[in-house]
């Protein structure tokens, strides 16, 4: 028996670097893992240990969410844990961001999370409760000049999380957030291979590995965090402390 044996975990954005790490972590912990991504979901599920289901999911589509949850219920009976990990980032300032790009960021990062919560709640309620974890960002905690749409979406995601936590508490559904710092993924580097956000001057002067972040996400999603809802876990290597040297 492992921590998530008998539980079904649906992970969005599962084709990305952090998403793949989350899929592997929950699978190793015994979960029935639902690999939800716009592409390659079935291939990733086939490569995943244990019981895994791949579902095609555009998080901005209510119909796609309904289909994903229906497929999950047909295969595993329902959803116990939702990891809202899908995200979209577009560089742009308040003056320069194209409105269609602004809307795409908001639709993916904020509306996508709302649609996910809305889609899984009936399933969780029927199973006596559940756990929802929103993957937020340090951009939702501090100023992020040049990332006006992404930062706005992540700040708003904090409000969504707290309101949902209060609304769903009577149903024994916990809603929490993890705020990762800079993760060693392709998104952390510019075209020339340099770090977009240099980490050498911060308290822990390096990027996090995706596997390090999954340790915190699995904790928050698990019964070990049963007394936490509406909470935010900051895992940023001291980024929000500011430069220390």
Active site members: 150
Residue 206: alpha-carbon gap to chain centroid: 22
How many CA atoms within 13 Å lie on the side-chain side of 52?
A: 24
| Matching residue, tokens 């060693």 | 184
């Amino acid at each position: 028996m492992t921590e998530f044996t008998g539980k079904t975990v649906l992970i969005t954005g599962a084709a990305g670097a952090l998403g793949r790490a989350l899929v592997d972590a929950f699978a190793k912990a015994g979960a029935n893992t639902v690999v939800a991504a716009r592409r390659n979901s079935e291939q990733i599920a086939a490569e995943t240990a244990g019981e895994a289901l791949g579902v095609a999911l555009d998080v901005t589509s209510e119909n796609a969410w309904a289909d994903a949850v229906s497929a999950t219920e047909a295969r595993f009976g329902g959803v116990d844990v939702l990891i809202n990990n899908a995200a979209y980032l577009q560089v742009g300032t308040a003056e320069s961001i194209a409105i269609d790009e602004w809307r795409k960021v908001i639709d993916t990062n904020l509306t996508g999370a709302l649609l996910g919560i809305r889609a899984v709640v009936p399933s969780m309620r029927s199973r006596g409760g559940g756990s929802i974890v929103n993957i937020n960002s340090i951009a939702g905690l501090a100023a992020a000049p040049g990332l006006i749409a992404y930062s706005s979406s992540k700040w708003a995601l904090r409000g969504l999380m707290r309101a949902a936590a209060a609304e769903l508490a009577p149903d024994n559904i916990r809603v929490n957030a993890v705020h990762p710092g800079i993760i060693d993924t392709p998104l952390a580097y510019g075209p020339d291979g340099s770090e977009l956000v240099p980490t050498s001057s911060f308290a822990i002067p390096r990027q996090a590995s995706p596997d390090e972040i999954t340790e915190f996400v699995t904790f928050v999603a698990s019964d070990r965090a049963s007394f936490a809802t509406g909470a935010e876990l900051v895992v940023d290597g001291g980024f929000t402390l500011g430069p220390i040297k």
